[in-house]
């Protein structure tokens, strides 16, 4: 039994590899994953799989982290999602993501990991 229900985890690079593995792992731990990558079809299939296997509600945030406006949308999601407790950056395309943490000094409950 895990006690992360009601908390969310944002994972970049969630459509394959390390990011996908983290998304599935964190959902099994009770987090609702926010899945970020460029390929929405893969993210949508993963969201369905996660819901079927864990009951957690995954949401898809399609974004190219090399695109400034997409990156701004992801940063806004990180800054404004009140339930966000974990950020995993597995896309390796969001080099300046730690800026988000610096801009949210009150968010001491947010953990982060970058591959």
Ligand X SMILES: NC(=O)c1ccc[n+]([C@@H]2O[C@H](COP(=O)([O-])OP(=O)(O)OC[C@H]3O[C@@H](n4cnc5c(N)ncnc54)[C@H](OP(=O)(O)O)[C@@H]3O)[C@@H](O)[C@H]2O)c1
Within 9-38, the residues that bind ligand X by CB under 6 A are 12-19, 37-38
Q: Is there a contact between 19 and 11 (Cβ–Cβ < 8 Å)?
A: yes
91 is an interface residue for ligand X by CB under 6 A:
yes
Residues with Cβ within 8 Å of residue 45, at least 6 apart in sequence: none
Q: Which stretch binds ligand X (CB under 6 A): 3-11, 51-59, 60-68, 97-105?
A: 60-68
Residues in contact with ligand X by the rule CB under 6 A:
12-19, 37-39, 42, 63-66, 90-93, 115
């Amino acid at each position: 039994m895990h006690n992360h229900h009601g908390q969310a985890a944002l994972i970049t690079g969630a459509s394959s590899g390390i990011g996908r593995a983290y998304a599935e792992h964190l959902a099994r731990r009770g987090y609702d994953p926010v899945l970020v990558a460029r390929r929405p079809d893969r993210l949508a299939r993963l969201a369905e799989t996660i819901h079927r296997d864990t009951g957690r509600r995954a949401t898809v945030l399609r974004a190219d982290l090399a695109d400034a406006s997409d990156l701004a949308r992801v940063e806004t999601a990180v800054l404004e999602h009140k339930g966000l407790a974990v950020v995993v950056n597995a896309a390796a395309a969001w080099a300046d993501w730690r800026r988000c943490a610096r801009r949210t000094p009150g968010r001491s409950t947010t953990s982060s990991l970058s591959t």
